[in-house]
Structure 1
Amino acid sequence: MASPAVEIEVDNRVVRVSNPDRVYFPEIGLTKLDLVEYYLAVGPGIVNALWERPCMLHRFPKGLAGPKVHQKRLPAGAPPWVETVQLHFPRWNRTADELCVTELGAVIWAVQMSTVEFHPWNSRRGAVEEPDEWRIDLDPGPDCDRRTVREVAAATRGVLDELGAVGYPKTSGGSGLHIYVRIAPDHGHAEVRRAALAFAREVERRVPHLVTTQWWRKDRDPAHLFIDYNQNARDHTIAAAYSVRGVPDATVSAPLHWHEIADAEPRDFTIRTMPARFAEIGDLHHDIDDHVFDLAPLLGWADRDEGNGAETPPEQKQPSD
């Protein structure tokens, strides 16, 4: 028999959560209500990460034991106060009204609709085609160890410091690391991606024994780390800061201090551990909007690289090898 619904008060909203005892993470016994309580505990952080961004939802209607649904359109039945933004997807010549978070209640409602992961765009609804977030995705190859990730993170920070850019790191929730840099919404997705590629190539020059920017997986050394500049392409998303990941141990994409990268392990940050961490140190990305970087130097690097014969790969998702 299904467990009774519970009503969750979120600021001035009330969200009805059905089947609160449904087990979402069977290996560790965490329930839908545990997921709700986690997002309540890190509320200011997840709202800051999603604020006014189109957001794709990764839903697990039966928990991790069932299928995963990648949902662009807002699920049916949303209360009128849940906000959206309409997007156009040229690949299919279709539009979709995606969730656009402006309050914690919308996050909790999405969890009620079986959302585990939140994947926002790197632009906001007021300027969907002009990103305000440059995302550096340090994606380790299959034979790449944690030491390599840490050394590349240090090299990445060194280049950012030389540029005068302030980077905000976080775990991916897996084996990688993400670093966000706030930028002015002055360029389209293609130009931001082009700048991200120029930056990745510069890091590769500094640590060529550790980093690759090879586009095709078959051409990469599996012990190298790929700096995935393509995460800045239009309609590409990655898990938000504080988003839970749909993996058996319920790891979380956790913001870090730079000095923590040397010792941090992805499995240190889970639904169970993050609420206490958040209560102690708050949102490490809270002031990201105060540090806006001008992409001009990176676009100059892109001009230089292209003048020397470097090519920019097409904006597309890679086929699996």
Structure 2
Amino acid sequence: MGGTKAAVTEVEVAGHSVRLSSPDRVIFPQRGFTKADVFHYYLAVGDGIMRALRDRPTTLQRFPEGIEGEAFFQKRVPTRGVPPWVTTAQITFPSGRSAAELCPVDLAHVAWAAQMGTIVFHPWPVRAADTDSPDELRIDLDPQPGTDFADAARAAGEVRAVLDELGATGWPKTSGGRGVHVYLRIQPRWTFTEVRRATIALAREVERRQPDLITTAWWKEERGSRVFVDYNQMARDRTIACAYSLRATARATVSTPVTWDELPDVDPDDFDLRSVPARLAERGDPHAEIDDSPYDITPLLEWAERDAAAGQGDLPYPPDHPKMPGEPKRVQPSRAKRSPEDDA
């Protein structure tokens, strides 16, 4: 009968019973992937996604009616209707307000979020034990108009060269779109402000080495056809889709860990809901050892001091962020060049 509700099933995950309702609801219309497909995808990549999410406060990007329907970011776990085993972590926004975010401690938390229509997982770069001290430095290489994934991969290669000189290990992954992310595990000893400064210092170094390919310019009018290192992804409350997260794309692409050797030759569209579980099962996780050698960012902070002494201080924060000490004006250069006196 047309009005019959789809059966609700209970799935055992990590010792918990997780509901799966409306399993046949189409989430990715172009590929025909359903809610059940999404749910079971996350179970299939469990080891990989838990390496990315475990004990991290996580913002959920939810699409309850599918990727062509309304979407929203959920930063607070509801106070009602939530299984008693769901774990949260308290995080503080730049405004000073706080929230209890989902904090996955096992795969059941990921499955529960998928049941709630979550497609994309956006973890903070911190662990629940200390939500003010990042343990992950994230380098987001964002191709600008006129550039593509191949350019982002070349830029990532320059990042790798600099990290090698520093004795640091970077872990690359596709963004699920045209970009590349490089993650660096760090000792959780520094503030968000300090880790962002270290990221800017690293970004400026790669920009100096490849100025025709890489830019740190915050204002789009100054970027040109280059790959932008989005250093503001290390500002508090800015997050990136994690390793093994689906993306809300027509192809159901996945932000996928790759090896440095693979990176120049992969096509990010090849990594999707269907292909990634088989890849993970056959090859294992390229990020399997990401937690083994946290890096001391002191050399990067020394670079930041050197740059500041040479006149290269802080860069603008995101527009929704409170004004920070030492931050330059948040004014487009083309507008800043004109002053009231110019029109007098």
TM-score computed with the length of structure 2 as normaliser = 0.90
1:177 aligns with 2:180: yes
Matching residue of 1:154: 157
Describe the SS at the equivalent of 1:139: strand
Matching residue of 1:237: 239
Counterpart code for 1:310 = Q
| Displacement of 1:273 | 0.3
Report how many aligned residue pairs link the two structures: 318
Give the whole-Å Cα distance in 2 for the aligned partners of 1:106 and 1:148. Answer: 36
Matching residue of 1:278: 280
Give the whole-Å Cα distance in 1 for the aligned partners of 2:148 and 2:84. Answer: 47
Deviations 1:100-121 (A, max 9, x none): 0000001000111110110000
| Displacement of 1:142 | 1.5
Give the whole-Å Cα distance in 2 for the aligned partners of 1:47 and 1:108. Answer: 11
Give the whole-Å Cα distance in 1 for the aligned partners of 2:97 and 2:197. Answer: 26
**Higher relative contact order (Cα pairs below 8 Å, separated by 6+ residues):** 1
Q: Out of 267, 279, 294, which is 2:296 matched to?
A: 294
Give the whole-Å Cα distance in 1 for the aligned partners of 2:102 and 2:261. Answer: 34
Map 1:88-107 → 2, pairs under 5 A: 88-91=92-95, 93-107=96-110
Counterpart code for 1:262 = P
Q: Gaps spanning 5+ residues in structure 2: where? A: 321-329, 333-344
Q: Out of 62, 65, 68, which is 1:62 matched to?
A: 65
- Structure 1 segments of 4+ aligned residues over 3 angstroms from their partners: none
Matching residue of 1:215: 218
| Displacement of 1:294 | 0.8
Matching residue of 2:259: 257
Deviates more, 1:192-201 or 1:149-158: 149-158
Q: Out of 146, 154, 166, which is 1:143 matched to?
A: 146
Describe the SS at the equivalent of 2:262: helix
| Displacement of 1:90 | 3.9
Retained in 1: the 8 A contact 2:123–2:239?
A: yes
Q: Out of 84, 87, 98, which is 1:83 matched to?
A: 87
Identity of aligned residues (%): 52
Counterpart code for 1:194 = R
Counterpart code for 2:238 = H
Describe the SS at the equivalent of 2:303: helix
Change (3 A) 1:143 1:128: same
Matching residue of 1:109: 112
Give the whole-Å Cα distance in 2 for the aligned partners of 1:87 and 1:122. Answer: 11
Retained in 1: the 8 A contact 2:23–2:35?
A: yes
Retained in 1: the 8 A contact 2:124–2:239?
A: yes
TM-score computed with the length of structure 1 as normaliser = 0.96
Q: Out of 4, 8, 16, which is 2:7 matched to?
A: 4
Give the whole-Å Cα distance in 2 for the aligned partners of 1:121 and 1:146. Answer: 25
Describe the SS at the equivalent of 1:244: coil
Deviations 1:56-95 (A, max 9, x none): 000001111211111101144211111001222242x432
Q: Gaps spanning 5+ residues in structure 1: where? A: none
Describe the SS at the equivalent of 1:180: strand
Matching residue of 1:19: 22
Give the whole-Å Cα distance in 1 for the aligned partners of 2:129 and 2:280. Answer: 29
1:42 aligns with 2:45: yes
Give the whole-Å Cα distance in 2 for the aligned partners of 1:89 and 1:263. Answer: 39
Q: Which has the greater radius of gyration?
A: 2
Deviations 1:119-166 (A, max 9, x none): 000011111111000001111101113332222121111111000100
Give the whole-Å Cα distance in 1 for the aligned partners of 2:61 and 2:205. Answer: 34
Matching residue of 2:124: 121
Deviations 1:3-36 (A, max 9, x none): 1111111131111111010000011110000001
Give the whole-Å Cα distance in 2 for the aligned partners of 1:192 and 1:209. Answer: 26
